[in-house]
Amino acid sequence: MGDTLKTLLMIAWLLPLFGFAVEILWGPRGDRRTTRWPAWMAVACIGSGFLCSLSALLIWGSGTDWAVLQSHDSHDAGHAAPSDTHHEGVEPQEHPAHESAQQNPIRPTAPVRANDAARWHLTTAADGHASDAHQNAHTAAGHTDSPSDSAASSHGQVPLVYHGTIYRLAAFGSLILSIDYYIDSLTLVMFTMVTLIATCIHLFAIGYMSDELTDEYVDHFVHTSDGGHLHRQGRFYRFFAFLSLFCFSMLGLVLAGNIFQVFIFWELVGICSYLLIGFYTERHSASTAANKAFIMNRVGDFGFLIGLMVIWTWFGTFQFSDLFASLPRDDAGRVVTGEYGEVALALPDGSSKQIPYTLLVVAGLGVFAGCIGKSAQFPLQTWLPDAMEGPTPVSALVHSATMVAAGVYLTGRFYPMFVPEVLLVIAYIGAVTLFLAATIAVVATDIKKVLAYSTISQLGYMVLGLGVFGWAAGLFHLITHAFFKSLMFLCSGSVIHGCHHEQEMTRMGGLRHRMPITAFTMLVGVIAIAGLSIPGLIAFSGYHSKDAIVATALAFIQANPGHFLLFLLPLLTAGITAFYMFRLWFMTFAGEPRDAHVYDHAHESPWIMTLPLLILAPLAAFCATGGEDGLLYRLLAGSEPNYVAAGVSSTASGLTLPGHHAIHEVHSTAGTWALVAAIAGTLLAWVLYGTKAVRVEDMKRQMAGLHRFLTHKWYFDELYDALFVQPVHQVARFFAWIDRTLIDGIVHFAARLTVLASRWDRLFDELFIDGLVNLVGRATFSVGRSFHVVQTGRLRQYVMFIVVGVVALFAVLFTTFPR
Amino acid sequence: MNPEVLLSLIIFAPAVGAFFLAFMDGRAVDQLRGFTLFTTIVTFGLSILLWVQFDSSVSGIQMAVELPWIPSWNIWYRLGVDGISLPLVLLTGLVSMLAAVASWSINRLHKGYFILFLLLESGMMGVFLALDFFLFYVFWEVMLLPMYFLIGIWGGPRKEYAAIKFFLFTLAGSILMLIAMLMLYFQTGGQEHSFNLIELARVASGTSEHLTQGLTPSMQITAFILLFIGFAIKMPVVPVHTWLPDAHVEAPTPISMILAGVLLKMGGYGIIRIAFPLCPWGTQAAAWVLVAIGAISIIYGAFAALAQTDFKRLVAYSSVSHMGYVLIGLAVWKMNEASQTVNADMWNMGISGAMFQMIAHGISSSGMFFMVGVIYDRVHHRNLNEFGGLTARMPLYSGLSAGIFFAGLGLPGLCGFIGEVFVVLSSWNFSHVLAVIAASGVILTAGYILWALQRVYLGPEYKGPHAEDITPISTREATVGAVLLALAIILGVFPNLLFSMMNASITELVTHMQTGYEHAAAAVQNLQAMR
């Protein structure tokens, strides 16, 4: 079965890449520019991808006899587990000295390694034959455990995972980097979700982008220097090429079997996002937003890289399966630490290594920093609203449903590597983000901006859910949110298209008469995100998933009362969410038209755009039916790391992470609270925007300060500009100055010094050395000259000199030497 | 083919071509161009042949050539190739070929230009294939002179200044190298002195059969410093880099391509071929400083690039930044108290990453310089603030440029990513602080490249002079860009093509350095014992 799944998912993954290549290479030639074939090509690729993913999911399900659905009732397991969990949780406190790696039986935490006999694993044969991953069938029977068998529920509940290598990137001794795959139910659900939503959005985009099907596109947002609007060739093919490339990258990210590969596709979705945000390259705001998105993501990726460095240095592998198995956890799910806070890693090659606990925290925070960037969490949230400069289908696919959820996905995927301290940070980041973004959404008037802030806020919910130990709850919300948010973005796209690129809600109103399908499907999405329900009768997806998160948060603060904000903020924000979403709906679709011109020209979108809405609406409403006993939740929960269900009590830093049982106990309480908040928010929105009971303008004036603060998005852009952007440019100028003035100054000084020295040298040469030589010359000359007197040439005189000389010589000889 | 013939042909085929060019009619420009291109294609073909004959499972030197040259000084004509030099030979062949295609834009004194161009290629090939220090030095200097004239005659407005600056900087490095070379020659050997790089490396690890006496540890440090400065100037690293922006800005496009694509690699190659194996003790002593210089270069170069307004200067500073990764990767050699390398595989990865980065940078930066050249040929300016709107006017050119600039940005799937990220991953093992500094470069790199792309290619309309001269990219130009981009993609997706070529040699180097270090450490202990 593993090979079949791998093949199917790889086809689904690579088809969009093929589509991209064809579209980008053949698209721009000749009259193909103005035909729809690139779109159909892209739809065919991603549509086939969806079919592959869906069949993979079904094959996986039937191959396991849908074990995840029949397996333990989560509550029963929860009931069975706690008794011994508490027991184990208490004991170490009584005998702290016993808490050591030797005494607590180390249980591999990872989904993958727990039971080697019943495992697929990559053969260590070095040549990277992926399919060598051989199967030791881990049949469903192996882990359908009965509630009474608590041992099985804590040990045997190992999720089914297929993993292996596709090809090798590099090998240095024992260090191996490769392109891997890792398939569990989370992968399959993500694949199906991404391909399905992408197919819908591709279809929608055929209609939305159809005005690009021309050689004379007029961009009304760009003014040329002669005062007119910009005319350019249409770029229909390019849009679909980029969308295809994005799908390829996103699916690669989900399929990745190691964290390094995730990083690769992480950056690739980043660049696709850059290309799509900046699709209207002529608009300065668009290209600036694209740059901002990519650079802010890189800030997060810098952290990611640090995390990778730590992991690589200490674990020597990036493979999820090896990493998860390396971290020792005791039976209660705690990471086993030694006497000095070090953790003895059980490395894949069988050796052991002591890693300081702090470095585990650094690694976790580092990887999560990447998630902060990608999922637009506080403090890197400011790029996402700007990213709305891209065409609306892009916002729907990339900036709400899939790519931005990648951060949440990675947090879930990499969960076993996050120690409780990191989880706490994750929870707080999520809580701050969800509140902050929701407050800004309340005052936003651009329909897409409202949705953008709502996306940030909902991502905050997911992150919070993961942080408070609601693994499945967070990912559950990821999937439901993907459906209802993509639906709402497409609806907003339909509105924008129908209103001829008007995005300001202050100029809309009453549009439900003009575009009934859009209005109705949007309402479905709004109800879903607001989390409204009639208990016991009907509940849309958002109700279930948000409930799961809020319940986890409540269980978390009951165990750790100091962190009460982690419950208070999401509860409060549940109300705010309902308020701003209904405000959006009322302002757009209900009431009187605010701008007659917009209203008169508004029209319902063509079938190719409303069809995706009609497909997505039921999914958005009912994909989570059954809540935590439903299909979707169970599928996801099947991949939950096995120590999560029972919870982890009394970690080293004193946190208690709630198990399923504790969460279940408070579920109905939390659900009620959340519902009350949502209903309150809805009512408030209705009063303010649905009726004319209160004049909103007056309220704005009364709270002008707060309003300004919120419309300026808490002044984050200004703050970052002053804190980072300007200083960076100043430092850059300073370094350039150093180069030109200081370093080159020294070089030039040295050069001038050399010239100066050589001048002196010349002077020295001319004056001193030449002077000396000349002096000698002159002296010789004058000596010679003085002999001139005697050198007469007359023989008699010479003979006389000789005679006188000889006589003198003899005189000297005879006088000085005695006989 | 017989290795002696093949290796010599690779080196001298361009020189022979230059010889024939000398007898051709200087006015027949197309013939001159065609013949030069033909010569570079032949040379590249020969280097491909070398690759075919190369056995990547062998770690040492292959296809060694040894002929006596100046016997009285024991100087030999020694050539050979291993996994470290082969990729660089291939790169040289490729970049020279593409630069020859790019040389169509040269518009005066064609004959002299092409003769010098081919001589330059001979010198570069010689540097990468020589295994005798003396021969290496000769080729090193041979390559210097054509470069000087190519910048000084065919360059931009400040060409004389740039050429002299280039020449003097490099010469200063050469002299330090010369001192080190003579030091190695006279201080090692005992009975017999040698310039043989392989033997000199063996001396350092105490395994030589011919030479009995090696450098003392302290002399190793001196020799290493001299050699390092010499090579660092070429690389270049901060603070001896300022010749680079000037040389690049003034040099004509094809020469910029060669300068960035090949010449800078000689610094790195010299370090890995000469400075490291000949002075293992010196290397270890200087490792931390090297990594620190590398980290500073990355950050400094990136910041400086951010502040530039000249497109070509920006690309030049990006080279400084990228070569910083090379230095880091080479030097992340961590020793413990017991003279054992800590996590040798990690250092292996660092060196491999550095080598990969050299090749990747050779592809991406020569591509970037070419792309700057293409637009410069049309509008005759490089002011970043006076471009804009090129995507609409030159769509294919903009697409290719974006791809190549993304390779420079270190985008996964393109070659720049692998080198950078492998180096960064291997560096945490060495020093946390320096690793974090190096990693922070990714933000700045994204900053300056994206900002440049925005100012040049995006936006509604072109803002500078000569707007009427903007014509779509020609087939010739597009070919150069497409080849480079295709290579960037291939190497980015299948990096093992390159790694598997280098692996055996680099593994051997790592082992050699360890033995060499132990050898020197034993000498130090002996000295202490004698005292």
Q: Whole-angstrom Cα distance, residue B451 to residue B384?
A: 10
Q: A283 CA to chain B: closest CA distance, Å? A: 6
User: Which of B:361-400 have CB within 8 Å of A?
Assistant: 389, 391-392, 395, 399
User: Which of A:364-383 have CB within 8 Å of B?
Assistant: none
For chain B, what is the mean pLDDT?
Answer: 91
Closest CA to A386 of A721, A736, A788, A17: A721
Task: Tell me: pLDDT of B313 over 60.
Answer: yes
User: Which of A:580-639 have CB within 8 Å of B?
Assistant: none
A23 part of contact set with chain B, CB < 8 Å: no
Q: Whole-angstrom Cα distance, residue A185 to residue A701?
A: 52
3-state secondary structure of A677: helix
Task: Tell me: pLDDT of B181 over 60.
Answer: yes
Task: Tell me: pLDDT of B472 over 80.
Answer: yes
Q: Whole-angstrom Cα distance, residue A638 to residue B510?
A: 46
Q: Whole-angstrom Cα distance, residue B139 to residue B146?
A: 12
In single-letter form, the type of residue at position A533 comes to S
Of the candidates B308, B424, B457, which has its C-beta nearest A305's C-beta?
A: B424
Count CB atoms within 10 A of the CB of residue A7. 13
- Write out chain A residues lying below 8 Å of B392, CB-based: 232-233, 281-282
Q: Whole-angstrom Cα distance, residue A679 to residue A677?
A: 5
B451 part of contact set with chain A, CB < 8 Å: yes
Q: A395 CA to chain B: closest CA distance, Å? A: 21
Q: Could you give the ipTM of this predicted complex?
A: 0.93
Q: Which residues contact B360 (CB under 8 A, 6 or more apart)?
A: B407, B415, B416, B418, B419, B488, B491
- Write out chain B residues lying below 8 Å of A267, CB-based: 411-412, 417
User: Which of A:249-268 have CB within 8 Å of B?
Assistant: 263-265, 267-268
CB A379 within 8 A of CB A387: no
CA A699 to chain centre: 38
User: What pLDDT is attached to residue A787?
Assistant: 80
User: What pLDDT is attached to residue B14?
Assistant: 93
Of the candidates B348, B391, B424, which has its C-beta nearest A309's C-beta?
A: B424
A278 part of contact set with chain B, CB < 8 Å: yes
CB A580 within 8 A of CB A450: yes
Task: Tell me: pLDDT of B306 over 70.
Answer: yes
Is B345 close to A172, i.e. CB distance below 8 A?
yes
**Strand pairing of A342-346 and A352-356?**
antiparallel
Task: Tell me: pLDDT of B206 over 70.
Answer: yes
User: What pLDDT is attached to residue A510?
Assistant: 83
Count CB atoms within 10 A of the CB of residue A344. 19
- Write out chain B residues lying below 8 Å of A274, CB-based: 450
Q: Whole-angstrom Cα distance, residue A348 to residue A327?
A: 11
Closest CA to B139 of B252, B54, B266, B50: B266
- Write out chain A residues lying below 8 Å of B425, CB-based: 308-309, 312-313
Burial tier of B521 (Cβ tally within 10 Å: 0-12, 13-18, 19+): middle
Is A282 close to B460, i.e. CB distance below 8 A?
yes
Of the candidates B245, B406, B424, which has its C-beta nearest A271's C-beta?
A: B406
Closest CA to A602 of A483, A533, A523, A511: A511
Closest CA to B54 of B84, B86, B78, B90: B86
DSSP assignments along B476-510, one per residue: HHHHHHHHHHHHHHHHHH-THHHHHHHHHHHHHHH
User: Average pLDDT for residues B451-458, to the nearest whole number?
Assistant: 91
Considering Cα of B62, then B68, then B69, then B75, what sign does the dihedral take?
A: positive
DSSP assignments along A22-83, one per residue: HHHHHTTSGGGGGSSHHHHHHHHHHHHHHHHHHHHHHHHHHHTTTHHHHS--HHHHHHHHHH
User: What pLDDT is attached to residue A509?
Assistant: 82
- Write out chain A residues lying below 8 Å of B460, CB-based: 222-224, 230, 282-284
Q: A168 CA to chain B: closest CA distance, Å? A: 7
Segment A474-494, tens digit of pLDDT: 999 999 999 999 999 999 999
Segment A586-635, tens digit of pLDDT: 888 888 888 888 888 888 888 888 899 999 999 888 888 877 888 888 88
Q: Which of B167, B318, B409, B458 to mutate to test the interface with A (most CBs of A within 10 A)?
A: B458
The pTM assigned to this predicted structure is 0.88
Segment B393-412, tens digit of pLDDT: 888 999 999 999 999 999 99
Identify the residue with better confidence: B333 or A654. B333
- Write out chain B residues lying below 8 Å of A245, CB-based: none
Segment B139-162, tens digit of pLDDT: 999 988 999 999 999 988 888 999
User: What pLDDT is attached to residue A640?
Assistant: 85
User: What pLDDT is attached to residue A336?
Assistant: 81
User: What pLDDT is attached to residue A466?
Assistant: 92
Q: Which residues contact B13 (CB under 8 A, 6 or more apart)?
A: B39, B42, B43, B46, B122
User: What pLDDT is attached to residue A819?
Assistant: 62
**Strand pairing of A175-183 and A107-108?**
unpaired
Q: Which residues of chain A have pLDDT under 50?
A: 73-157
User: What pLDDT is attached to residue A53?
Assistant: 93
Is A267 close to B417, i.e. CB distance below 8 A?
yes
Is A274 close to B450, i.e. CB distance below 8 A?
yes
Task: Tell me: pLDDT of B187 over 90.
Answer: no
User: Residue B48 — very low, low, confident or very high, per pLDDT cuts 50/70/90?
Assistant: very high
Domain boundaries, chain B: 286-492
Q: Which residues contact B289 (CB under 8 A, 6 or more apart)?
A: none
